[in-house]
Structures are given as structure tokens and as C-alpha cells.
Structure 1
Amino acid sequence: MKRQTRSRLRSRIVGTIAVAAASVLALTGCAVGNGGSTSDDGPKLSKGPVTISLYWWGAGARVTATEAAVKLFEKKHPNITVKLQSTDWGSYWDKLATTVAGGNAPDVMQFDQLYVASYAQRGAIADLKAYSKYIDTSQLSKNVLATGEYQGKLYAVPIGLNSIGVAVNRTLLEKYGVKLPNSKSWTWDDLNRVAKQITEKSGGKVRGLDPFGGDTPSLTLWARQHGNQLFDQKGDVVLKPSVLASYWQYALDQIKDGVTPTASQLAEGSTGNLDQSDLATGKVAMTFLPSNLTAFQAAAPTQKLDMMPFPNTSNAKKGWQYLKSSMYWAISSRSKHPAEAAELVDFLTTNTDVGKLFGAERGMPANPEFQKVIAPDLNGSDKIVMNYIKQVTAEAGTPAPVTPVGGQDADTLLAQIWQNVQFGKTTPEAGATQYIAQLKKELAAAK
């Protein structure tokens, strides 16, 4: 069996973002305009029968839960019929770009932060503040709601929350007698120490850690700890070369120390599923992941997995941590029935019966009321994730801005240069300069 690559783990961290950015750039001339009934107070609900559409990515349990939620909505709104369509992530954005460019976008769409700015800038999705009469966001905190904002406007309502942390295989730690420090105060030195102990006590059979290096979420957290950021609120690249170089140097030192897989092992291709990942098969004891521990636990039923927070530096200012929305609901700016679409978004994000149906499948619910109603039924990894999100929520500062237009390939480019750094083809310092220059060039070309 081939070793699970860092690129595979990186793709999970960023939501498997191997989708052509060209599909987004294909949007041209998407003029804003509502075809429904409007007034000075905004769009009005129709009195007669109305049909709206809902489009999302996902399968299995997500399809079943979404269909059940829509049936509840239609029962409460008998004059509204909702046409449902879902697909896999890989097809979703190409299909959405085509329908938007053709002027027949779905009324309500599931969205990812990677594309909020692109669609908002082209006028393809509506400013939801205009629909405040129908969409109640009062239960969401300011920081959570801000994850769906772009240039001061709310374009997407958060559905779920996650944050990068360190997934830990406690079965391996217990087997080799390695203890973790206090989760609220562990540092990068602690992470190195635990990784080294696991590697040494297992005689090299288990590597302590699968390192970061090729994903912007972990880079953003590292940068925020060092008083920096990848993008600013204007959508400009503000990352300092020295911060990126230090991020890569930390991981490079771990590879050289032998507490992680080698550069060659990390570069090996693999088409394995989660049950073939290094974490699930016990080849590594820890790895950086978003808080989707449940999926990994299901793939490794004989292993006891846990979640530790992102390690901290000794001098990091409060607020470096932040919450990221796992996904959102957005409304087409060309919807013929914007009021009904807004009613649906409100129902899906505020009705507690929907909260019970959705559970934590779309991420830990962004609505605290949803968290309350599902808490009694949570156990195992879902309970671990909820407690982790609560800890991050208490520590979180202002969220990172959504990916700006032209930044869709930020992770792909980061991973490519990081691999060159691993193999000594470039230094962390030179690679950092190259990455920032190329990213700025791509953003400038998209303006």
C-alpha cells in the first residue's frame, strides 16, 4: 500500500479544492437583478404557487437530511415547491459556473469560501442584508457572520464551522506510553517532543507527525500567530516572506529529524480513501486536519482518535485563532423569487428541527441553537469536535478574509513550491519570495 501523501491530506484540509479556477473566471457580465416582486422594503413574498431551486454538493446522509429538511419547509410553506439537485464537489463548481453564465442559476446554492468573492464581485450572488426581513442571523456571533462577508456585504450565511487542529491517534500514544500536554497550553516545542517520543519508542515503525507545509489554512494560523496574515480585508497579499519561510523551515526541520515521513514518502502518489490514510492505518500518530475528525474515526474504527488545538507560540497575541465556515447558503442575484429563496435559507439555518436532521454532517453547526439540540445525541468523535469548536470559539479573533478573486490556486501553488523546498530544489526563503510574487501576479491578473 502506498503511503498517504501530504497532498492528499492538504486536499482534505482545503475541502478537496482540485477544481479548475477557470470555471469561476468564466462568469462574465452577471448583472445583479431580482425578477421577483419588490418594493421599497425589499422583495415581497408571492401569494400564488412558487417554485424555487436548491443546489448543493454531497451525497449519502447529506442528501437524505436535506430532502427531509425541504419537506418540512414545504409543509410550512405549502405554496412553495423546492426543486432539489445535488452533485459531487468535483462537478459542482463547473456546473454552477455554467448555469450562472447562462442566466439560470439555482435560487439557493451551497457555497464555499473559496468562491464567495469571485461570484460576489461578478454580481452573481445577492447581498443578503437586503433580505434581512426574511433571514434572521441574530443567533450568529459577529465573528461567525463575518466569515460570509466580502467588502462589507453579507453574501453567504454560514452553515457549519471548523478550524485546523491536530488529529491524534491516542491508541498509538497509549501503546507507546506517550502523554499529551494540556490542550490549552501546548506549544510547538511540545508537538516536536511528542512526535519525537512516538518515533523513538516505536523504533521508527510509527512516525510522530504528518507535517503541514502545503495548505493555506494552517499557513494562515501560523501567520496570525506571528502578527501577519495571508490576505488583508482588501484582498491584497500581505504575507511576509520571512513568515512563510519560518513556516516551511519548521516542517523541514521535522522531516530532517526523522519524526515525519521522508520527502520521498510524502511525494508518493496515492488514490487511497480515508481508511488508507497514514493516520487511520497507524503509520503516523498525529496530523494537521480541519475539525472533521468524525470522518477519520469512521475510517479507523479500531483506533481512538482525538483532537488537539493548533499549537501556539509563547508570544502570540490573543485572537490569532479563528473560526472558518465549512460551507454556506447563498442566493442568486437573479432569482425570480428572492423572498421565497430567503425564506428557505432562513428555515435551513434557524429551524431547530433542521438542526436535528443536519447534525454535524456539514460541520459543527454555526447556529448555537443547533448545537444545543444536537448535543444530547453526540458521542465519540462528534462530541470531541463540538468541544474543540467551543474552545476555538472562546479564543477566536476576527476571521480571516475570504479568498480574494484570483486566489483560488493559492493552495496548489503553495504545495508545489513546498515540495521543491522539501527536495532541496529551492530554499525556504527563495521559495517564499517566489510564492508571494506569483500569488500577487495571479490576483493582479484577475482584477
Structure 2
Amino acid sequence: MRHLRFVVTAAVVSAAALTLASCAGDGGGSGEYDPDADVTLTFAFWGNDDRADRYNQLIEAFQTEHPNITVNTTFTDFPSYWEKRQTEVAGGGLPDVFQFSDSYLRQYAEPGHVLDLGEVSDYVDFSTFDDALLGTGRLNDVQYSLPTGYSMWANFVNDDVLADYDIAAPEGGSTFDAFDEWMAGVTDATDGTVYGGTDYTQRIQVFELVLRANGGNLYTEDGELGFTEDELRDFWASGDDIRDGVTVPQVELEAISPVSGFGAGLTASEMSWSNFLGGYLADSGAESISIVAPPTAVEGSKDLYQQGGLQMAIASNTDHPEASAIFLDYVVNSPEAGEIFGTTLGFPASSSKLAGTTLEGVDKQVADYIASVADRVGEAPPVPVIGYGSLEQTFWDLGKELGLGTITVDEAVERFFTEADVILE
């Protein structure tokens, strides 16, 4: 086996450097592409040792098919990863191919730091992706990145708890009121030993579901917020009743952080992305966890969507656009990638990668859930605003303060929009 050198890198740079830096370059290499020429590519990703080992296997398989293309890799954790990318943008030296996130699409594509994949379309197969998934890497009708996989918002239920207290599972896709009643019933049945759930109004993704059910979105195509103060006020106020003794108290969650209430066995349910199932099983020690559809604000709406957050992109100033595209295509499309990664990069986004994936155990359960909500899946939302990650964290932090009782709903709304103004500027 070829041994690849993995380097953990961290750098702290102001996000302003990304905005102020000049465009990464016109890219495209020079001259006609020679498929037999020796090429060395740089590839960067965030993750852990397990992900690094899987990429090692994938690159070995890739280089067996393309012996003239050498791939050198670096990896680090998520925060350090983006600090390093910002440093490289300022110096015009992004890796040839790198793991990307839809949260950064507008931030990197608008200044021209990532390659328009249409320029290398002869080397990338787009036909294996649903259009909704292509949309997660598209801005202004230009395809800048492709997803490795996707997740769906879901409601997780601890079957062990339900069996211990003889409680029926919640109905998937119920109204929020019906789900609130179910959570209250769990808390009562266990006499508060286990709570019905976690305050879901802390999660911006649940607010997004409510907006989408009513024909809206978190943000607009122009990169602005897509909701009003009144809409946010109504959403946070809707959690007043469940915060009062139905869901696990925030003070208890603070004591066990970073483990979630569901992972710690304090709650019978929790909403999150479908690919969290394996982690929840490991954290909670539960023998069985079910996945059901989350509540909906409007019955029959298309409020769910395929969240293709983990993507692959190419630097616009790469000297080897064609070879980079060949490698990117192998990561997102090859059956070998499906065999090696399974669903660890999300449920396979392309049909050809899925064909190589063996779905069993947790992977099969996630696949079955995704199939069960197919009729509820709508179009991908607009590309996230610049600074979406900070907005999400602000939303969550204010939700926690509501749970602790240190802030009112009106104060939370005012603070969110004040901070949003700063972030969006």
C-alpha cells in the first residue's frame, strides 16, 4: 500500500481576508490536456483518522486506474480546516481539489475562488445526481461543487425507553401540537425520569421547516434573510409551553455538554440530521433507535430537502483542471467510493456511488427512512448567506438562553436581527 503523508494544519486568519483577497486566478491550466502526462495534485479535507484511512484506500484505488496522477493530501478538524483555506485564499494557493461545504459556496464562488465545473464537464458525470442535489452546489446557474452525500432532517426515538414505559411511538409527520402532546405524555409517564424530548425551537433547521411549509426559506436567492421578526417571534414563542416542564431543562443539558440530551438518555426523542443515527446509538447505548418523520407545520407540504452539506470543489487557479476533475469525479461518482465510504460522507448522492455501497445495519435504516419521506421532499433551498454558520450558532445560543430563562422572546428576536445585520455586512 502506498503510504500518504497526512498533515494537520491550523491557522487563524480574519474572515475579512477571504473577502479582500483578489480572485484566485483565471485557472484552466495551459495548453491542451495530455491524459498521459505525470501530474501531482493536492487534496485537502476535514475529518478524523477513520476518514483519512478511507481516503487513503480510495486514492490507492484511483492511482491504480490513473498511475500518472499522484494525489498528496492534508487533513485537519473542521474549524482549523477553514482557517487554513482562508490563509490560502489570501495567498492564492488553495489545494487543487478540496472538501467543500454548501455553507461556504457564496463566500468562495462569488469572488471566483472555485472553478466552474462546466469548464471541465468532459471529465465529470453530472447525470448521476438528482437536480435538487446539484442545486446544493450551484450558484447563479453555475455548478461550483458536487455533494459526496446528503442527509434529511429526522426525528429520532429511543425504542428502549418506549418499551420500558409501554409508550407508543410518535406519529411521523404529525402536527407540532400533536408531537408536543406526545412529549408531554412521555414526561408524565416517566415522572420526569426521561423527558419527552429537547426544545426543538432552539434549532434553526426546525424554523426552516416551518418557513418552507409556508412557502418561504431561511434566506433569499440574493443572499438576504428570508423571514421577518414577527415570524421568528412566533416560532420562539411557540416553544413557551414545552420549555415549561415538557422538554429536558436547559440547565441539565449544560451539565452534560457536548453530549446531547438524547445521547445521554435524558430524552426519548430528538430531531437532527439522518446521518446522526450511528452517533446516537453509540452515545446512548440504546439497543434500538427508530427514525420517524419530523412534525410538519402544513400537512402535504414539501418542507424537507436533501441536505448536501459535504461537497467537493476545485480551486479556480489550479494548474491541472482536467486531472483535478478526474479525481473529483472519482470521489463523488465511483462505485469504489461507495464501497469504501458507505454512508460516512452522507447517504451517497450519486447513483453510481450508491451502486457500490452495501446498505446494511445503520446504513440500511437511514436508507429506509429517506425512502419513507420521499413524497415530502421539496427543492433545495437557496444558497446559504455568507456567514450562515455564525447565524446558526447565534440562533442556537439564543435558544439556550430562552431555555435558561435569562432572556425573553422579544429580546432574543432583537438580538438575533442585530447580530444578523453585523454578520451579513
Say whether the fold is shared (TM-score over 0.5).
yes
Residue from 139, 142, 161 that aligns with 1:172: 161
- Counterparts of 1:378-397 in structure 2, within 5 Å, are 378-379=360-361, 381-397=362-378
Q: Which amino acid aligns with 2:162?
A: L
Give 2:7's aligned residue: none
SS at match of 1:129: helix
Q: Which amino acid aligns with 1:30?
A: C
Between the two proteins, the alignment pairs up a number of residues equal to 413
Asked if structure 2 preserves the Cα contact closer than 8 Å seen for 1:108 and 1:332, the reply is yes
Aligned equivalents of 1:191 and 1:162: distance in 2?
22
Give structure 2 stretches of 5+ with no counterpart.
Answer: 1-9
Asked if structure 2 preserves the Cα contact closer than 8 Å seen for 1:210 and 1:260, the reply is yes
Aligned equivalents of 1:301 and 1:424: distance in 2?
31
SS at match of 1:325: coil
Give 2:289's aligned residue: 305
Q: Given the alignment of the two structures, is residue 417 of structure 1 paired with residue 398 of structure 2, yes or no?
A: yes
SS at match of 1:307: strand
Asked if structure 2 preserves the Cα contact closer than 8 Å seen for 1:214 and 1:411, the reply is no
Q: Quote the offset at 1:227 in angstroms.
A: 2.7
SS at match of 2:356: helix
Q: Given the alignment of the two structures, is residue 210 of structure 1 paired with residue 194 of structure 2, yes or no?
A: no
Larger CA deviation: 105-114 vs 225-234: 225-234
Give 1:262's aligned residue: 249
Q: Given the alignment of the two structures, is residue 34 of structure 1 paired with residue 27 of structure 2, yes or no?
A: yes
Asked if structure 2 preserves the Cα contact closer than 8 Å seen for 1:70 and 1:82, the reply is yes
SS at match of 2:148: strand
Aligned equivalents of 2:202 and 2:12: distance in 1?
18
Residue from 147, 163, 175 that aligns with 2:136: 147
Aligned equivalents of 2:347 and 2:17: distance in 1?
33
Asked if structure 1 preserves the Cα contact closer than 8 Å seen for 2:265 and 2:284, the reply is no
Deviations 1:178-217 (A, max 9, x none): 112443x422123112211211111111111011233332
Give 2:16's aligned residue: 25
Normalising to structure 2: TM-score of the pair?
Answer: 0.90
Aligned equivalents of 2:46 and 2:183: distance in 1?
36
Q: Given the alignment of the two structures, is residue 219 of structure 1 paired with residue 203 of structure 2, yes or no?
A: no
Deviations 1:201-258 (A, max 9, x none): 11111111011233332221121123322101111112122321222122222011x1
Q: Percent identity?
A: 27
Tell me: CA distance 1:425–1:295, structure 2 relative to 1, closer, same or farther (3 Å): closer
Asked if structure 1 preserves the Cα contact closer than 8 Å seen for 2:187 and 2:196, the reply is yes
Q: Which amino acid aligns with 2:109?
A: A
Q: Which amino acid aligns with 2:16?
A: L
Q: Given the alignment of the two structures, is residue 158 of structure 1 paired with residue 147 of structure 2, yes or no?
A: yes
Aligned equivalents of 1:59 and 1:384: distance in 2?
24
Q: Given the alignment of the two structures, is residue 405 of structure 1 paired with residue 394 of structure 2, yes or no?
A: no
Asked if structure 2 preserves the Cα contact closer than 8 Å seen for 1:237 and 1:436, the reply is no
Tell me: CA distance 1:393–1:139, structure 2 relative to 1, closer, same or farther (3 Å): farther
Q: Quote the offset at 1:70 in angstroms.
A: 0.8
Q: Which amino acid aligns with 1:407?
A: Y
RMSD: 2.3
Normalising to structure 1: TM-score of the pair?
Answer: 0.86
Give structure 1 stretches of 5+ with no counterpart.
Answer: 1-18
Tell me: CA distance 1:190–1:60, structure 2 relative to 1, closer, same or farther (3 Å): farther
Tell me: CA distance 1:203–1:425, structure 2 relative to 1, closer, same or farther (3 Å): closer
Moved over 4 A (4+): 19-23, 269-272, 423-426
Aligned equivalents of 1:229 and 1:66: distance in 2?
35
